[in-house]
Every structure is written in C-alpha cells, then in structure tokens.
Amino acid sequence: MILLDIFIQLFGESYHWQDIVIAIISILFGFILLPQLKDVWHGKTTLNIYTASLTTIGLYILAITFFTMEYWVSFTAEIFSGTVWLLLFVLSIKNLKK
C-alpha cells in the first residue's frame, strides 16, 4: 500500500501510474532480449518461429489496447518490445533458410 500511495502522490488519482508501471516492465522485457537479438542477428541461433510470431502478434495487440486506453507510455513500450520480437522472428526465419 505504501508503493500505491507514492504513485498516487506522484501521478494523482488518475491511472497514469499504471501506465508507467506497465511501460517499465514492458521495456525491461524488450531490453532483456537484446543479447538474444544480437545472437540471432549474427546467425548464431534461431528462435522457435511459432513462439516468436505469436508473441509478436500478442504484443502488438496489447499496444493497440493501450492505445485505445490512452496509455501512451505503455503503447510505446509495447511497440518497442513487439518490434524486438518481430526482428527475432524475421531473423530466425532467415537463419533457418541458411
């Protein structure tokens, strides 16, 4: 409850604090994948195509949902994470064709 009180003091009674929390977690998930993206980029590995494609679609659906809710920071964060997954998907397909 103390953390909730801090967020309410920072952002007021609106739902903006939830936008920030969702965005921070989403951006962290995207950044966590950057070493994996580097490996896939250099052709060292591939990801499961189904996992990468479905995760990409899911993240873009979440981005659209956040857009409709006017959670602009979360929308941007989901676009970032979705794009990382999209790159993993595309590069994995490229690596599988080698």
Render pLDDT for 63-72 as a digit per residue (tens, 0 to 9).
999 999 988 8
Low-confidence ranges of the chain (pLDDT < 70): 1, 3-4, 6-15
pLDDT at 7: 63
In a domain, 61, yes or no: yes
Domain count, the chain: 1
pTM for the model stands at 0.82
Residues 6+ apart with CB under 8 A from 38: none
- Residue span of the structural domain in which 68 resides: 15-96
In a domain, 57, yes or no: yes
In a domain, 26, yes or no: yes
CATH number, position 56: 1.20.1280
pLDDT at 20: 85
In a domain, 7, yes or no: no
In a domain, 25, yes or no: yes
Q: Where are the alpha helices (DSSP H) in 1-98?
A: 2-11, 16-32, 34-41, 49-68, 72-96
